[in-house]
Amino acid sequence: MKKSILTDRPVFSVRKRCGLIPSLPWRLMVMAAFVCLLWSGALVLGADTYYVATNGPGGGATTWATATNNIQDAISLCAVGDLVLVSNGVYGTGGVKNWPGGLGGTDLTNRVAITNDITVRSANNDP
């Protein structure tokens, strides 16, 4: 009978009975995959959502009732992994003053500057 290299106990194989290979490395791989899935889910669960509407009153932008009317304002509130939902409409304001990537502190008007890993999308999934 085989003995485990980690202990002096005999190794019992289930391979012959059910066709599976429940060896220690296989179990560790399954456990590692499970932990990775839980960890990646925790990153997504921590994401915040910010709202933008043309008639938004401004404020925290964390609900439609407090939505901002400026896309850049919502983007500026975001951290990595956050989501910005933009309601349909025409947004003619916004931009970034002294944008760090521009030449000599370039001002960007009527544009958005995304500097974090965030998602900006239409609230009704209509491009």
Mean pLDDT score, 16-22: 52
Comparing 23 with 59, the larger pLDDT belongs to 59
The tokens describing 27, both together, are: 């179990």
Mean pLDDT score, 18-35: 68
Comparing 3 with 27, the larger pLDDT belongs to 27
Q: Write down the mean pLDDT value for the chain.
A: 76
